[in-house]
Amino acid sequence: MGKTAVAEYVDYATIHGVERIKNSPFAGFKILWLIALCGSLGMITFQVVMLYRKYDSTPVSTSMELKTVEKMRFPKVGICNTNPGQTTRLTS
């Protein structure tokens, strides 16, 4: 008959440990994969929490000051022609 939704999800999950827990032939391997999967999920949770605490513990202070300038010198701008064609050939 048809697979259940959970069994079908486990077969196509990209978390490889879940598939290996279901499809391992021996109970010892299933327990080993379950421990490995839970351990890795625990480690990633620990790392995310520690990184968030580190991010949250460093305050950021921003201050702005506006200065108005009455007269400002505009910088000289040079326009370079990057076209390798010669204009003398176009006009003749």
Can you give the pLDDT at residue 53?
A: 94
Q: Quick count: other Cβ atoms within 10 Å of Cβ 30? A: 15
> DSSP letter at 60?
-
Handedness of CA 81, 82, 83, 87 (dihedral sign): positive
Check if the beta carbon of residue 7 is closer than 8 Å to that of residue 22.
yes
pLDDT tens for each residue of 19-48:
888 878 888 888 998 899 899 999 999 999
> DSSP letter at 74?
P
Confirm whether pTM is higher than 0.75.
no
pLDDT band per the 50, 70, 90 thresholds, residue 18: confident
